[in-house]
Amino acid sequence: MKRFVLDASVTLAWFVDDPMPSYADRVRQMLIGGDRGVVPALWHIEVANGLAVAQRRRVLSSADVDICLGYIDNLIQALECSTELVSTRGAVRLAQDYGVSAYDAVYLLEALNAGLPVATLDQGLRAAAHRAAIKIVR
């Protein structure tokens, strides 16, 4: 069993992108196969916001969002949610040091603290992970 930090960009790609990127599907298959995704507490809010925005933009219907939420409910057993409080100062510093949003800095921090690779479709987060010597899930 492998563990990795799961970014919301991959999760949202399962539902919003058409077609689903092959990378996102590979990560999904890893989770279905027994690997574990480690997510910071903000992952839930980012995914919820992404689904709400997709519905507002009419990419997803209300029924589609309900299906997505059911899938996420089933996925929860393959996730480990970090409950550690993230330092605002630490998130700002990482965001400044790596040129990413504070949200992405939280994923970097999670990966750095746990010594885990990151699964992300976000090019800025990928570049920051590379600079921080964090591996990307392949």
Assigned domain for 91 exists: yes
Assigned domain for 56 exists: yes
In the block, which residue shows the tokens 């077609």?
19
Tens of pLDDT, residue by residue over 50-65, are 999 999 999 999 999 9
Assigned domain for 136 exists: no
When pLDDT is cut at 50, 70 and 90, the band that residue 126 belongs to is very high
Assigned domain for 138 exists: no
Q: What is the CATH number of the domain that holds 119?
A: 3.40.50.1010
pLDDT of residue 46: 97
Assigned domain for 106 exists: yes
Assigned domain for 137 exists: no
Cβ atoms of residues 125 and 136 within 8 Å: no
Domain that holds residue 7: 3-131
34 Cβ contact partners less than 8 Å away, ≥ 6 residues apart: 1, 78
